Amino acid sequence: DVKVTQSSRYLVKRTGEKVFLECVQDMDHENMFWYRQDPGLGLRLIYFSYDVKMKEKGDIPEGYSVSREKKERFSLILESASTNQTSMYLCASSLSYMTGNNYGYTFGSGTRLTVV
Amino acid sequence: AQSVTQLDSQVPVFEEAPVELRCNYSSSVSVYLFWYVQYPNQGLQLLLKYLSGSTLVKGINGFEAEFNKSQTSFHLRKPSVHISDTAEYFCAVSELTTDSWGKLQFGAGTQVVVTP
């Protein structure tokens, strides 16, 4: 069964800490995405990557950065965590749009981050 | 730019009754359309998608959706719900442009609560 795996289900961090959220996929997908999910706001795109070492800002990139050194791994970094970054973070992957197909995303189970 | 509106934030429904979740979108180009479901404390799972062809799309767990291009809608229906259908449902749109990279824009979600 194909999977997107997020390394932590729950995290509690202190304000000002540097936080790493890890995501690994085993489907050889080109695209990977990081979203945050907040009640009433749905899913908002933070960053995405369409290839190794390539990244593009999404709708809400402020306060975040990403790293994609290998095709299967996409990391989200909170440089200095703040309480307004308390949220559910979802990683997803998909085939490259350039293949002419769009079968949607495969999602990980999410990481619920609390910043205190 | 695309946008997605889910017209109901919460839909209460009795077990074995029908349910319809409404989704409207706006875009100046052709789109692909998706419905995802999120069960408590889990990631999102693809219910169904419309890419082309028949405007009536059948998905998993007895759900179906109809694409109406003139109304720019993609409403989700199920003729008879079960308690296990209690979840949050997200409508998503992907624009068919080369610079979209297959990104999905999500609605704010509709919480379905099924009671006996």
A-chain CB neighbours of B46 within 8 Å are 104-106
Domain boundaries, chain B: 3-115
B40 in A contact zone (CB under 8 Å): no
Q: Inspect the interface and report whether the beta carbons of A110 and B49 lie closer than 8 Å.
A: no
Fold of B3-115: Immunoglobulin-like (2.60.40)
* 3 state SS of A48: strand
B63 near B77, Cβ under 8 Å? yes
pLDDT band at B85 (very low <50, low <70, confident <90, very high): very high
B74 near B5, Cβ under 8 Å? no
Q: What is the pLDDT of residue B6?
A: 95
Give the count of domains, chain A: 1
Tens-place pLDDT, residues A40-97: 888 999 999 988 989 999 999 999 999 999 999 999 999 999 999 999 999 999 887 6
Look up residue B112 and give its two tokens.
């379905």
Query: How many helices and strands (H and E) does chain A possess?
Result: 0, 11
Name which of B101, B105, B106, B111 to mutate to probe chain A: the one with the most chain A Cβ atoms within 10 A of its Cβ. B101
Q: What is the pLDDT of residue A101?
A: 60
Q: What is the pLDDT of residue B1?
A: 62
Q: Which carries the bigger pLDDT value, residue B96 or residue A97?
A: B96
Residue A100 has pLDDT above 60, yes or no: no
Nearest to B44 among A40, A96, A107 (CB): A107
Name which of A27, A37, A59, A96 to mutate to probe chain B: the one with the most chain B Cβ atoms within 10 A of its Cβ. A37
Cα–Cα distance measured from residue B80 to residue A99, given in angstroms and rounded to the nearest whole number: 37
Pairing mode of beta strands B105-106, A87-94? unpaired
CB atoms under 10 Å from CB of B81, counted, come to 21
* 3 state SS of A42: strand
Q: What is the CATH number of the domain that holds A23?
A: 2.60.40.10
Tens-place pLDDT, residues B44-70: 999 999 988 889 999 999 999 999 999
Q: What is the pLDDT of residue A2?
A: 63
A21 in B contact zone (CB under 8 Å): no
Q: Inspect the interface and report whether the beta carbons of A43 and B102 lie closer than 8 Å.
A: no
Q: Inspect the interface and report whether the beta carbons of A104 and B46 lie closer than 8 Å.
A: yes
**Which residue range forms the structural domain that includes residue A36?**
4-115
Q: What is the pLDDT of residue B41?
A: 81
Residue A99 has pLDDT above 90, yes or no: no
Residue B115 has pLDDT above 90, yes or no: yes
Cα–Cα distance measured from residue A71 to residue A44, given in angstroms and rounded to the nearest whole number: 23
B-chain CB neighbours of A41 within 8 Å are 108
Q: Which carries the bigger pLDDT value, residue B93 or residue A102?
A: B93
Residue A22 has pLDDT above 90, yes or no: yes
CB atoms under 10 Å from CB of B36, counted, come to 25
Torsion on CA atoms B93, B96, B100, B103, rounded to nearest 10: 30
